[in-house]
Amino acid sequence: MDLFEYAEDLDFGDIHFKVNPKTGLRAIVALHNLTLGPAIGGCRFLEYDSSDHAVRDAMRLARGMTYKSAITRVPHGGGKSVVIRPKNMSDAQRVEIMEEFGEFVDSFGGAYITAEDSGTTVADMDIIATRTEHVLGTSTNVASSGDPSPVTARGVLHGIQAAVKYKYDRDDLAGLRVAVQGVGSVGYHLAKYLHELGAELIVTDINQDALKRCEREFHAAIVAPEAIYSAQADIFAPCALGASINDSSIAQLTCDIVAGSANNQLAEDRHGAELRARNILYAPDYVINAGGLIQVVADLAGEDADWARAKTEGIYDSLIEIFRRADSDGLPTGEVTDRIVEEMLGLK
């Protein structure tokens, strides 16, 4: 699809680019919708096969943030940034890139607020904060609680508990087998919470140290990345990059529930219908992974930990309502959630 057609298909707003060959900066800021307020969305710092892939990733993620903000009922729009990571980058070059990206963020005058995402760290946010005040998740800002990963994972846990309640009419996770795809920052914390509640874990990741940590701490079984889809599990928790639910993976799934932290889990919208046709309950990604957004909004608004905790726990009730409406309407859960948001924003 042509890039402009793709933008129109996503009901897009603005896409901005910043390039500096001297530092190696190649940055994209995608602002999807500002109806509810200034856009919040993390900054990805990854290598990409092509600039087209990077732009489309930023656009999909920005749209997801609009929907996540709306369904979570926080006063913000959706944005996302991608900084294409140079090959063979030095530590000094990384600092220069983050400084210049901070200036890029500042140029939006508060219309876009950045935060941590795949490939960026709290240390990167600290560097960005030397050039703009429109950044969250730093270690030095007293208004920030830092790494949002544990809160995101806690929200995913509440979402898994909702799915288990709806699917199995169970209030506990003891003995359930959960296949976790990706045990980085969010996936590790999710695995920890699941282990504490008695779930059995199957894990995969490209980082061998992360896998060994889960094996040592949680007695997790390790499988190769390509084997995680067919692993015998009750729940599949995608916690890596997007598009993990696709034609190939759906055919391999043995689970009853798909519920994880990754953004844009469905490669295409039709895959939500295919999950439903196979009687697999899907927890829409931008609902279940909203814990990190809730934390940064709490930081920004000066809300206390009790507010953030209650809001994150609300993911459980939101998903139960979505599951019920999906069954009542005979529609995929993702389509039902999209309709709720689009009605709120007047997009359709």
Q: What is the pLDDT of residues 57-116, one digit of tens each?
A: 999 899 989 999 999 999 999 999 999 999 999 999 999 999 999 999 999 999 999 988
Please indicate, yes or no, whether residues 175 and 284 belong to a single structural domain of this protein.
yes
Residue 79: name the closest of 109, 100, 58 by CA. Answer: 58
Higher pLDDT, 141 or 285: 285
Residue 51 falls inside a structural domain: yes
Please indicate, yes or no, whether residues 30 and 171 belong to a single structural domain of this protein.
no
Give the pLDDT of residue 348. 63
Residues in CB range of 146: below 8 A, 6 or more apart: 122, 137, 138, 139
Q: How many residues does the chain have?
A: 348
Cα angle 164, 165, 166 (rounded to 5 degrees) comes to 90
Query: How many domains does the chain divide into?
Result: 2
Please indicate, yes or no, whether residues 263 and 311 belong to a single structural domain of this protein.
yes
Please indicate, yes or no, whether residues 121 and 181 belong to a single structural domain of this protein.
no
Specify the pTM. 0.84
Residue 144 falls inside a structural domain: no
Query: Looking at residue 44, which CATH number applies to its domain?
Result: 3.40.50.10860
Residue 137 falls inside a structural domain: no
Q: What are phi and psi of 79, to 5 degrees?
A: -145, 165
Please indicate, yes or no, whether residues 93 and 180 belong to a single structural domain of this protein.
no
Are 240 and 38 spatial neighbours (Cβ–Cβ below 8 Å)? no
Environment class of 157 (CB within 10 Å of its CB; exposed 0-12, middle 13-18, buried 19+)? buried
Amino acid identity at 170:
R
Q: What is the pLDDT of residues 263-308, one digit of tens each?
A: 889 999 999 999 999 999 999 999 999 998 898 888 788 888 888 8
Please indicate, yes or no, whether residues 121 and 165 belong to a single structural domain of this protein.
no
End-to-end CA distance of the chain: 21
Please indicate, yes or no, whether residues 171 and 292 belong to a single structural domain of this protein.
yes
179: which strand partners? 202, 236
Please indicate, yes or no, whether residues 94 and 189 belong to a single structural domain of this protein.
no
Please indicate, yes or no, whether residues 327 and 178 belong to a single structural domain of this protein.
yes
β-pairing, 112-113 vs 39-40, is parallel
Residue 71 falls inside a structural domain: no
Please indicate, yes or no, whether residues 112 and 155 belong to a single structural domain of this protein.
no
Please indicate, yes or no, whether residues 179 and 302 belong to a single structural domain of this protein.
yes
pLDDT band, very low/low/confident/very high, at 143 (cuts 50, 70, 90): very low
Residue 188 falls inside a structural domain: yes
Please indicate, yes or no, whether residues 193 and 234 belong to a single structural domain of this protein.
yes
Residue 144 has pLDDT above 60, yes or no: no
Query: Which one of the listed residues 18, 22, 68, 80 is annotated catalytic?
Result: 80
Active-site annotation holds for 348: no
What average pLDDT does the chain have?
94
Cα angle 236, 61, 157 (rounded to 5 degrees) comes to 35
Task: Provide the domain limits for residue 215.
Answer: 149-345
Residues in CB range of 58: below 8 A, 6 or more apart: 15, 28, 29, 30, 44, 80, 81, 82
Query: Looking at residue 209, which CATH number applies to its domain?
Result: 3.40.50.720
Q: What is the DSSP string of 175-236?
A: T-EEEEE--SHHHHHHHHHHHHTT-EEEEE-S-HHHHHHHHHHH--EE--GGGTTTS--SEE
Residue 138 falls inside a structural domain: no
